[in-house]
Amino acid sequence: MRRLIAAALRRPTATLMIFAGVMILGAAAALNLRLELLPELTIPRLTVSTSYPGLPASEVRSLITIPLEDQLASVRGVKRVSSVSRDNLSIISLEFSWGEDMVSAAVRTREGIDVAYTSLPSDSAKPQVLPTEAGERPIAIVAVRPRSGDLSFARRLGEREIKTRLQQVEGVGSVVLAGGAVEEVVVSVDQFLMASKGLALSDVATLVAKNNYDYPTGTVTQGGQEFLVKASGTVTDPAALGAFRFAGGRSALRLSDIAAISLSQRERLSFFQVNGAEAVGLSVMKRKGASPIRVSAGLKEEVARLAASYGKDLDIQIVSDGSLFIAASLRNLVMSTLAGSLIAFAVLIVFIRDFRTSALLMLSLPIAITVTLFALQVFGRTINIMSLGGLALGIGMIVDNNVVVLENLQKRHIGSRARADSVLLHTLELATSRLGSTLTLTVVFLPVIFLPGLLGPLFADLSLSVIFAQIASFLTSITLMPVLFLLLEKRVSRRRAPRTRAWSDRLFRRSLLSAFRRPWTIVTAVVVLTGLGALCIPLLGFDFMPAQDTGEVDVTITMPYGAELERSASASAASARVLAAIPGVQEVYARAGGEPEDSQYYADPEERREIIHLHVLLARRRADSTAAVAAAIRSSLRIESAAVEVTLPGSIITPLLGLGKGGRAMVIKGSTQADGPVQAWRRIG
């Protein structure tokens, strides 16, 4: 340590340049670090989905779920297996131990599926491992509303054009559609006429398949160039299907002679509404490792370009932006850190009574922060509420090392000129004690990184931020601070120090002597205060993390079992009109059901098409306004034969723990029908 301090004092210019370079590296790291709400967490869960159309839940459980569970329970690393069997669908959730390599776990799971697939019914689809994680939410939801009211047109453009454009935005992982309408051609066959002609449904299907497609017919060479020739056989008018003729002795028989052909809309699997109006919703999921704020910025630019291109026919807008809450949370932490720095600076001025000395001490803050950011980048971490929370937590401790060293240097050189050997000696007097203090703090926070389960990955960034900041503060106190004191000692008001700090020294001395004269009084007071604090523990609430106000209120409407999607859409539109009239409500968007490619929908065992999710966006972002809007919803919203649940924003950690969506729920009415098939649940482990 002596060599380090001596080297810094012998080469003050080099020392200043090194710290300047470190600050530049830290500033560059701050620009390159990803901004996240939480540290990057890999939840050790996998979901296996198997579909069998037309099979009731009880048969799905016995024919598909149980054979798969028995095989997957033996996969190495599986800690718990749970399942839900629905009509047409089996969902199995596999929970692994924390720290498990999920890539190799997915490979082992697929190997187990291959073994069990041979024992499943031949008509069932092959089980799939869904690429989804518990608690994952879309980074943004884009609404596409047709100005003409043609939902099939909006769905077609959303699926073929808008979805492709959004997927090209950097950082976007997947885009899932919901709502709208899909056109289909319906061929209604008269079975009696068909049977009288000696035909079967397979003949009709073969006729349409063989005649309704484009096929190549060869090549044509002209002018030294070769062109491919294609015969267009795909019909553009559904009525043209009626002209198809059956082969063989029935060549005079056309399809229109035995069937009625019409253009209709396919039965909807989901709907999406904005303020009660039907629309097409596109849920955008970010790619793992991408910054949500940068992805959101790219989406806003692309949506603006899409709105300019399709503005005459479609109204395209982002109705939900998850990055706003992340940016607001990080901004609040940054402001808290700045406020803590200003408070520390004010305290230094009050006790030191010298602006230059206080500013010199506060120089350790940006150095420690930039060093911490650079270290976080080296270790592959992100800027999140935990890492910033660690910086905010260590503000006072960062200044402490430098205050002690500079205070000792000032007292030792009152009225005398500072020399390098003298500064070295007096810095070494406190270097060992400051090193011990720094190592003690490191020992306290270092085990947090190795905590089991969710705690270790969650709080590791906070622990590393505190440790890096303390190490940077210690190095600054024994290198940079002595160098600056040696270079600027003429400008540091040494002669005023004893006079200006006399009042604080006298106050401290009197308090200490008074405590020494009455030791049992002090001990009794400490014991009494400790006992009062222990008695207050049962009165405090317990929570893993406090609730977060995201500026939204979630309303869940559970329709009676078997309710048609159109009925749910009507109830959702009526509810949106009621919610829009409540003061403080800015926008309401709703969804129900899920498309086949929506892995989030099928991975959630609690989801079904009778459940409507309404998300109420608030115009004001205060906790009291959120509670007031929730209370107004609770008193205003009533739906016959349906259960309505209002959920206030909850902890962001609760979904990651597998404890539901979190939040505080208020059930308004629960008169849903109890009949109908019940989903079968089974858990192993």
556: CB partners within 8 A, 6+ apart: 611, 612, 613, 614, 644, 645, 647
CA angle centred on 379, ends 376 and 380, rounded to 5°: 85
Q: How confident is the model at residue 680 (pLDDT cuts 50, 70, 90)?
A: very low
| 353-499 to CATH, choices 1.10.760.10, 3.30.565.60, 3.30.390.10, 1.20.1640.10 | 1.20.1640.10
Residue 557's nearest CA partner among 602, 588, 603, 600 is 588
Residue 673 has pLDDT above 70, yes or no: no
Q: Among 226-230, 542-546, 620-624, which stretch is predicted with the lowest mean pLDDT?
A: 620-624
Contact in structure between 367 and 349 (CB atoms under 8 Å): no
**DSSP-assigned states of every residue in 325-357:** HHHHHHHHHHHHHHHHHHHHHHHHHHHH--HHH
Quick: pLDDT tens for 505-517. Answer: 778 788 888 888 8
Q: How confident is the model at residue 306 (pLDDT cuts 50, 70, 90)?
A: very high
The burial of 682, by beta-carbon neighbours within 10 Å (0-12 exposed, 13-18 middle, 19 or more buried), is given as: middle
Residue 391 has pLDDT above 70, yes or no: yes
Both tokens assigned to 238: 């559904």
Angle between helices 420-445 and 395-412 (to 10 degrees): 160
Contact in structure between 299 and 169 (CB atoms under 8 Å): yes
pLDDT in the model for residue 250: 59
198: CB partners within 8 A, 6+ apart: 250
Q: Among 50-59, 202-211, 429-438, 538-547, which stretch is predicted with the lowest mean pLDDT?
A: 538-547
Q: Mean pLDDT across the stretch 307-323?
A: 89
Residue 59 has pLDDT above 70, yes or no: yes
Selection from 414-418, 456-460, 522-526 with the highest mean pLDDT? 522-526
pLDDT in the model for residue 165: 92
Cα(72)–Cα(85) distance, integer angstroms: 16
Element (H, E) at 163: helix 163-167
Cα(542)–Cα(89) distance, integer angstroms: 38
Number of H helices, E strands in the chain: 24, 19
Residue 392 has pLDDT above 90, yes or no: no
Give the residue extent of every domain in the chain: 45-130, 140-180+275-324, 184-265, 353-499, 552-684
**Burial readout 316-345 (b: 16 or more C-beta within 10 A, e: otherwise):** bbbbbbbbebbbebbeebeeebeebbeebb
Quick: pLDDT tens for 6-31. Answer: 888 888 888 889 888 888 988 888 88
Q: What is the 3-state secondary structure (H, E, C) of 426-480?
A: HHHHHHHHHHHHHHHHHHHHHHHHHCCCCHHHHHHHHHHHHHHHHHHHHHHHHHH
- Going from the C-alpha of 534 to that of each of 528, 530, 544, the distances in angstroms are 10, 6, 20
**Domain 45-130 identical in fold to domain 140-180+275-324:** yes
Quick: pLDDT tens for 129-164. Answer: 876 654 567 889 999 999 888 888 999 899 889 999
Quick: pLDDT tens for 230-257. Answer: 777 777 777 888 888 887 665 678 888 8
Quick: pLDDT tens for 654-667. Answer: 655 554 555 554 44
pLDDT in the model for residue 679: 41
Place of tokens 């004690």: 433
Residue 399's nearest CA partner among 337, 339, 345 is 345
Both tokens assigned to 666: 């208020």
| 375 CB-side CA count, 13 A | 20
> Which DSSP symbol is given to 65?
I
Selected residue with higher pLDDT from 441 and 544: 441
Residues in the chain: 685
Q: How far is CA 334 from the centre of its chain?
A: 20
Both tokens assigned to 511: 């308090």
**CATH code for the part of the protein at 45-130:** 3.30.70.1430
Quick: pLDDT tens for 461-492. Answer: 889 989 998 888 888 888 888 888 877 765 44
Superfamily of domain 140-180+275-324: Multidrug efflux transporter AcrB pore domain like (3.30.70.1320)
Both tokens assigned to 557: 């409407």
* 3-class secondary structure, 196: helix
Look over the chain and give the mean of its residue pLDDT values, rounded to a whole number. 81
CA angle centred on 624, ends 621 and 630, rounded to 5°: 90
List of E strands, 365-417 = none
pTM: 0.77
pLDDT in the model for residue 683: 41
Cα(307)–Cα(317) distance, integer angstroms: 8
**Burial readout 496-529 (b: 16 or more C-beta within 10 A, e: otherwise):** ebeeebeeeeeeeeeeeeeeeeeeeeeeeeeeee
- In this structure, which amino acid lies at residue 483? V
- Going from the C-alpha of 645 to that of each of 246, 634, 653, 665, 669, the distances in angstroms are 57, 8, 21, 6, 8
CA angle centred on 140, ends 138 and 146, rounded to 5°: 120
Both tokens assigned to 211: 């005649």
pLDDT in the model for residue 606: 77
Angle between helices 355-362 and 364-378 (to 10 degrees): 0
Residue 354 has pLDDT above 80, yes or no: no
Residue 400's nearest CA partner among 473, 469, 350, 346 is 473
Cα(257)–Cα(547) distance, integer angstroms: 66
Q: Mean pLDDT across the stretch 592-599?
A: 82
Element (H, E) at 62: none
Quick: pLDDT tens for 395-444. Answer: 777 888 878 887 777 776 655 556 777 778 878 888 888 888 888 888 88
Cα(134)–Cα(119) distance, integer angstroms: 29
Name the fold adopted by 552-684: Alpha-Beta Plaits (3.30.70)
405: CB partners within 8 A, 6+ apart: 427, 430, 431, 434, 477, 478, 481, 482
- Under CATH, which architecture does the 184-265 domain have? 2-Layer Sandwich (3.30)
Cα(90)–Cα(537) distance, integer angstroms: 45
Q: Mean pLDDT across the stretch 267-272?
A: 88
